[in-house]
C-alpha cells in the first residue's frame, strides 16, 4: 500500500478520551475511531490486525476439528427464557422489540442459539462429538465502557461450543480446545499464560483463562516458576500451612489501642508484625444474619471462595447499621471473642496461629494473646484468602510469583447445564436419551489486538509482533531526491512481488514526520532510503522493537526482509 493513498489518520497529540496505552495508541495510529461510548469503527489499519488474528484463530479451530458457522446477532427472547438468562442477564443484555413487538436481544454469547440448533438437528451419538464455532460481533451494554477495544459494548469474539456424549468425551474436547488456544496465542507472537480460573456464575465444572502478560493488565495471577501451575488469584488454591509445634498459650489481655483501626495501626502501635494481627470481616449472609470471617492481617480475603463455601451468589459486607444491631463493636475494633449468635469462619492461616491479636469489640481496645478454641469457637476452617507471592505452589511447593495479565480467552466445561434446560439430547447406541455434555470456548479478537499493544509498545508507539502486524515492512524515503524515489519504488515493487506486506510512505512529508508515524504504527521493519546511504550503495533496515540497524546494498534488502519475516512467522 502507498501511504499517500491509505486512510491511516495518525494523530500527533494524545487523545483525551483514552485512559490506557492500547486505547491511546490505537487512536493515535489511526486504527480505530469512536462512534459512541464503547462502540468503534475499525479503520483499515486496525481491521488488518483483526483479520490476522481471526485467520490464526480460524486455522487452529479448523485444525482442532471445530466447524465454522455464523449464528445471527438478533436472538429471540424465547430461547433466553428457556435457560432463565433473559432475566438473569440484567441490563448488560441489549434488548429490543421488532415491529411486531417480539422481543430480541443482541447476542452477547450464543449458548442458547447453538443449543437450540443442536436439539433440532442432532439425534444420534453417531453425530458426536460436535464442535461448532463462529467469529461474530457481540454486544454487552457495559455500565461503563472504557479502555477502547478492551471493554467495549460492541466487540468481535470467536465463540465455540462442543457437544459430547459423556464427561470423558467432553474432557477430551476441552483439552483439544485448550491445546488449540495455546497454539493460537503462541502463533500471535504474544507472551501468555493459561491459568486456572473460577467458574463463577456460569456454573461450569472447570475453566481456564488465557492471559496475555502485561504490567498494565487488570487481572492478577499467581504462577509457579517450577511447574506449569498458574491461576487467577480469585481462583488460586492456597495450601493450608503445616501445623507446626503450638506455642504456649499466654494469658488473654485487653490493651488500649486508641484510634488504631487498621492492621497497620495496630501492628505499629503494638510493635508486632501484621501477620500476628487477625482481621474480623463481617458479611451480611441473610436478612438479619451476619457471618464473621477471620483473615490474617497480611492476607487478603477472597470473597469468591467465601461465597462458594457459603453457597451464596453474592456477598456484601454488613452495613454499619446491621453491625450495630448485631454486635456492640465499633468499626475497626471488631473481634471474635464474645461475639454471640454469629457464625465464625477462619482461614487456615488463622487456624495455625497462637497468641494473636484481635479487636476487643469496644472502642480503642484490642485483645492480645488470643487463641481459638480457648477464647472463641471457630465454626469452620477453610481456604478463604487470596493467594499471594511467596505462598507455596500447590504443585511444586516453590514460592508462587505474581504477574499481571489481560484475559483474552476462556475455555469452559459447561456440563449439561444448558442441554438439560433446553432438552438438547441424543440417543446412545442402546436408544437411550441423554443430554449432551457441553463446553464453551471464547476468544476476544479485538481485546487480543489491544492486549498485544499493552505488551508490545514503547514511548514512541506500537511494536507489533510480526504475526499480527498490519504491515510487515515500511519503506521510508527520507529525502525527496529522484534517486531516493526510484530506489524506494523499486524496493516497493520487489517486496510486493515477494508477497511482503509493505507500506510505502510516499507522502510529501519531512523525514521526521515519517519516522514518527512509522514508530507509532509499529511496522516491524523500517527500510530507510536516503541520499547519503545510496551514495555508499546502502539502505538502512531498522528493527522497530530492538532498534537494531543493518545496512545493506539495495539489491540485498528484499531477500533479507523476506527471510527475517519467515523466521519470525515460524517461531
Q: Which residues bind its own copies (CB under 8 A)?
A: 5-7, 9, 33, 35-36, 39-44, 47, 50, 65, 67-76, 91, 94-96, 98-99, 102, 104, 106, 113, 116-117, 120-121, 130, 132, 137, 139, 141, 143, 153-154
Please state whether beta strands 74-76 and 103-106 pair in parallel, antiparallel, or not at all (unpaired).
antiparallel
Bin 83: left if φ > 0, else alpha if -120 < ψ < 50, else beta: alpha
Q: State the burial class of residue 253 (Cβ atoms within 10 Å of its Cβ: 0-12, 13-18, 19+).
A: exposed
* CA 154 to each of CA 11, 93, 134, 141: distance values in angstroms, whole numbers, following the listed order: 24, 12, 16, 8
- Dist. CA 212–CA 215, nearest whole Å: 10
User: Looking at beta carbons only, is 372 or 523 nearer to its own copies?
Assistant: 523
Closest CA to 403 of 358, 363, 454, 355: 454
- In degrees rounded to 5, what are phi and psi of residue 495? -65, -40
Cis ω before 129 (30° cut-off from 0) = yes
Least distance (Å) between residue 247 CB and its own copies: 55
User: Looking at beta carbons only, is 36 or 201 nearer to its own copies?
Assistant: 36
Closest CA to 544 of 477, 474, 489: 474
User: Looking at beta carbons only, is 95 or 485 nearer to its own copies?
Assistant: 95
Q: How many CB atoms lie within 10 A of CB 535?
A: 9
In what order do the strands lie in the sheet containing 103-106? 74-76, 103-106, 94-97
Least distance (Å) between residue 326 CB and its own copies: 36
Least distance (Å) between residue 5 CB and its own copies: 7
- Dist. CA 354–CA 371, nearest whole Å: 5
- Dist. CA 467–CA 134, nearest whole Å: 22
Least distance (Å) between residue 566 CB and its own copies: 20
- In degrees rounded to 5, what are phi and psi of residue 365? -150, 145
Residues in a beta bridge with 380: 345
User: Looking at beta carbons only, is 111 or 141 nearer to its own copies?
Assistant: 141
User: Looking at beta carbons only, is 40 or 356 nearer to its own copies?
Assistant: 40
Closest CA to 359 of 306, 301, 297: 297
User: Looking at beta carbons only, is 153 or 385 nearer to its own copies?
Assistant: 153
User: Looking at beta carbons only, is 127 or 433 nearer to its own copies?
Assistant: 127
User: Looking at beta carbons only, is 142 or 364 nearer to its own copies?
Assistant: 142
- In degrees rounded to 5, what are phi and psi of residue 150? -70, -35
* CA 461 to each of CA 19, 119, 247, 445, 527: distance values in angstroms, whole numbers, following the listed order: 15, 49, 58, 21, 17
- Dist. CA 96–CA 102, nearest whole Å: 8
CA angle 136, 139, 140 (to 5 degrees): 145
Least distance (Å) between residue 172 CB and its own copies: 15
Q: First vs last Cα of the chain: how many Å apart?
A: 26
- Dist. CA 46–CA 478, nearest whole Å: 25
Amino acid at each position: 500500500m502507498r501511504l499517500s493513498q491509505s486512510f491511516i489518520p495518525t494523530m500527533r497529540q494524545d487523545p483525551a478520551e483514552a485512559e490506557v496505552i492500547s486505547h491511546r495508541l490505537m487512536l493515535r495510529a489511526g486504527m480505530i475511531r469512536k462512534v459512541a461510548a464503547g462502540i468503534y469503527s475499525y479503520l483499515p489499519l486496525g481491521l488488518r490486525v483483526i483479520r490476522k488474528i481471526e485467520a490464526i484463530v480460524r486455522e487452529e479451530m479448523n485444525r482442532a476439528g471445530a466447524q465454522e458457522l455464523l449464528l445471527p446477532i438478533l436472538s429471540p427472547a424465547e430461547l433466553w427464557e428457556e435457560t432463565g438468562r433473559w432475566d438473569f442477564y440484567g441490563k448488560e443484555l441489549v434488548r429490543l422489540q421488532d415491529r411486531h413487538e417480539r422481543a430480541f436481544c443482541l447476542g452477547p454469547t450464543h449458548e442458547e442459539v447453538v443449543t437450540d440448533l443442536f436439539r433440532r438437528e442432532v439425534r444420534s451419538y453417531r453425530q458426536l462429538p460436535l464442535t461448532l464455532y463462529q467469529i461474530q460481533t457481540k454486544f454487552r451494554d457495559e455500565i461503563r465502557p472504557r479502555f477502547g477495544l478492551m471493554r467495549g459494548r460492541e466487540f468481535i469474539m470467536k465463540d465455540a461450543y462442543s457437544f459430547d456424549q459423556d464427561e470423558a468425551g467432553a474432557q477430551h474436547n476441552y483439552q483439544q480446545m485448550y491445546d488449540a488456544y495455546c497454539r493460537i496465542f503462541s502463533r500471535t507472537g504474544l507472551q501468555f499464560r493459561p491459568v486456572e480460573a473460577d467458574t463463577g456464575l456460569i456454573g461450569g465444572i472447570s475453566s481456564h483463562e488465557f492471559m496475555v502478560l502485561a504490567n498494565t493488565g487488570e487481572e492478577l495471577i499467581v504462577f509457579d516458576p517450577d511447574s506449569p501451575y498458574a491461576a487467577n488469584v480469585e481462583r488460586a488454591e492456597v495450601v493450608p500451612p503445616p501445623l507446626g509445634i503450638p506455642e504456649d498459650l499466654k494469658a488473654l489481655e485487653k490493651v488500649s489501642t486508641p484510634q488504631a483501626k487498621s492492621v497497620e495501626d495496630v501492628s505499629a502501635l503494638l510493635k508486632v508484625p501484621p501477620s500476628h494481627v487477625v482481621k474480623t470481616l463481617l458479611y451480611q449472609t441473610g436478612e438479619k444474619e451476619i457471618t464473621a470471617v477471620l483473615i490474617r492481617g497480611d492476607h487478603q480475603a477472597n470473597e469468591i471462595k467465601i461465597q462458594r463455601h457459603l453457597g451464596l451468589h453474592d456477598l456484601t459486607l454488613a452495613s454499619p447499621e446491621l453491625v450495630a444491631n448485631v454486635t456492640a463493636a465499633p468499626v475497626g475494633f471488631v473481634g471474635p471473642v464474645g461475639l454471640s449468635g454469629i457464625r465464625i469462619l477462619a482461614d487456615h492461616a488463622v487456624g495455625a496461629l497462637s497468641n494473636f491479636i484481635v479487636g476487643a469489640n469496644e472502642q480503642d481496645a484490642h485483645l492480645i494473646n488470643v487463641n481459638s478454641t480457648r477464647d472463641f469457637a471457630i465454626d469452620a476452617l477453610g481456604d478463604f484468602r487470596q493467594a499471594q507471592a511467596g505462598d507455596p505452589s500447590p504443585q511444586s511447593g516453590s514460592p508462587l510469583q505474581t504477574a499481571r495479565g489481560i484475559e483474552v480467552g476462556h475455555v469452559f466445561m459447561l456440563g449439561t447445564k444448558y442441554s438439560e434446560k433446553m432438552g438438547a439430547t441424543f440417543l446412545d447406541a442402546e436408544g437411550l436419551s441423554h443430554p449432551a455434555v457441553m463446553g464453551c470456548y471464547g476468544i476476544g479478537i479485538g481485546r487480543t489486538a489491544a492486549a498485544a499493544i499493552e505488551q508490545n509498545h514503547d514511548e514512541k508507539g506500537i511494536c507489533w509482533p510480526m504475526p499480527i502486524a498490519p504491515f510487515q515492512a515500511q519503506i521510508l524515503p527520507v529525502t525527496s531526491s529522484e534517486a531516493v524515489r526510484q530506489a524506494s519504488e523499486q524496493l516497493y515493487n520487489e517486496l510486493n512481488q515477494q508477497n511482503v506486506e509493505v507500506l510505502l510512505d510516499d507522502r510529501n512529508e519531512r523525514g521526521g514526520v515519517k519516522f514518527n508515524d512509522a514508530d507509532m504504527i509499529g511496522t516491524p521493519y523500517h527500510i530507510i532510503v536516503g541520499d547519503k546511504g545510496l551514495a555508499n550503495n546502502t539502505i538502512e533496515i531498522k528493527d522497530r522493537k530492538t532498534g537494531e540497524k543493518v545496512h545493506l546494498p539495495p539489491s540485498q534488502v528484499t531477500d533479507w526482509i523476506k527471510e527475517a519475516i519467515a523466521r519470525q512467522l515460524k517461531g
